[in-house]
Structure 1
Amino acid sequence: MSDANQLIFDFNLNSDLSDWRVIDDGVMGGRSSGNFNKSPDGFGVFYGKVSLENNGGFSSLRYKFPKKDVKGFKEIVLKIKGDGKKFQFRIKDKSTDYHSFIAVFETNGAWQTIKIKLSEMYPAFRGRKLSIGNFSSKNIEEIAFLIGNKREENFKLEIDTIYLQ
């Protein structure tokens, strides 16, 4: 990561995870169960099981923070290691908004550097794409990872760093 980048979160052995929250489909009666902790190496680990029971089907991990200025940045870079499944990365310019701006990425079982263009993140709410235009705000206040591939599955996503470039 160079000086021209802005760190959103760097997972390490001293990371404070208290502002990270798992929110599952239980908010709508579902039965999925996500968990989040730190690995012995200091990486963030989001893992669990997605269930389709009771109209469920997703687990998410959210991080709210004081407003970050994203003017001049073109993309968000994720250093992650997934289990070969598809995940969503989401941002909100205002944490109180109902909708998020979304990008889908696929993992391959190895450490990857995923680059997501902010301008290509599309707006959606509860799985429905909205017609309000792609992300174009000057700020972000929340990021999230979500898994919801319309099937029952166990999942695991390790996270090293998240930054703007």
Structure 2
Amino acid sequence: MPLFLLLLALAACSTTPTPSPPVMSADSSLTLFDFDDPDAPGWQIENDGVMGGRSQGFVQIEEGTMVFTGEVVTQGGGFTSVRGERAADLSAYDGIELRVRGGGRTFDLDVDDGTRHRGREVNRQASFPTTEDWATVRVPFADLETTAHGEPVSVDPLDRSGIQTLGIYIADGIDGPFQLEVDWIRAYADA
């Protein structure tokens, strides 16, 4: 038998395992807001004027960054906020991470699933620090405190599958100007 036919016969008889497809792992993060996208949803300001306060907040997108600026006046209110709509199912994630720079002021992240308590909007918030330099901060869903008009309330746990909006508040009790820059906002999953 010629060598060529022998090799061909051996090749036909060998059992080469079929390669299995690669195992795909779940993404460890999901981008919710990327301010490089010209079609990014708009963000809306809510100042403490709704309760008689005089704080002022402003928001704009500059060079791929959301910039939240203004001034906090603690007398009569003491907060301003910015909120973006983003319906998302985050049931596979453990929290929200943001890449921010804020000059040392403390801000609060608010995660809204549409829950209401006695007709009032329920806030689920946790604070995050900032520095003069860019940093990634994480806010675990487990750290969110639940309130309605500043008072603790007992409601169902956060419905991670029904997130409607994310908000950022400044209510740190310090009078004066502030600036927060946000590069992106993502949901993250612990490894």
CA contact 2:108–2:169 (8 Å) conserved in 1: yes
CA contact 2:109–2:168 (8 Å) conserved in 1: yes
Unpaired segments ≥5 residues, structure 2 = 1-25
Residues 112-165 of structure 1: CA distance to partner in whole angstroms, max 9, x if unpaired? 101111122121122222233653542210100000122312110000110112
Aligned to 1:94: 114
Aligned to 1:42: 64
CA contact 2:113–2:159 (8 Å) conserved in 1: no
- Aligned pair count reads 160
Q: Quote the offset at 1:15 in angstroms.
A: 4.9
Runs of 4+ in 1 over 4 A off after TM superposition: none
Q: What is the DSSP-based 3-state SS (H/G/I as helix, E as strand, rest coil) of the residue aligned with 1:49?
A: strand
Q: What is the DSSP-based 3-state SS (H/G/I as helix, E as strand, rest coil) of the residue aligned with 1:138?
A: helix
Q: Quote the offset at 1:64 in angstroms.
A: 1.7
Aligned to 1:73: 93
Q: Distance in 1 between matches of 2:30 and 2:37?
A: 20
Q: Distance in 2 between matches of 1:64 and 1:13?
A: 15
Percent identical among aligned pairs is 28
Q: Quote the offset at 1:7 in angstroms.
A: 1.5
CA contact 1:25–1:31 (8 Å) conserved in 2: yes
CA contact 1:80–1:157 (8 Å) conserved in 2: yes
Once structures 1 and 2 are overlaid, which stretch shifts more, 102-111 or 121-130? 121-130
Unpaired segments ≥5 residues, structure 1 = none
RMSD (Å), alpha carbons: 2.1
Residues 74-119 of structure 1: CA distance to partner in whole angstroms, max 9, x if unpaired? 1211111111011100101117660111111111111010111112
Aligned to 1:5: 29
- Identify, as 1 or 2, the structure richer in strand: 1
Aligned to 1:116: 139
CA contact 1:123–1:134 (8 Å) conserved in 2: no
Aligned to 1:64: 85
Aligned to 1:139: 162
TM-score (norm 1): 0.87
Q: 1:69 to 1:127 in 2, by over 3 A?
A: same
2:14 aligned with 1:14:
no
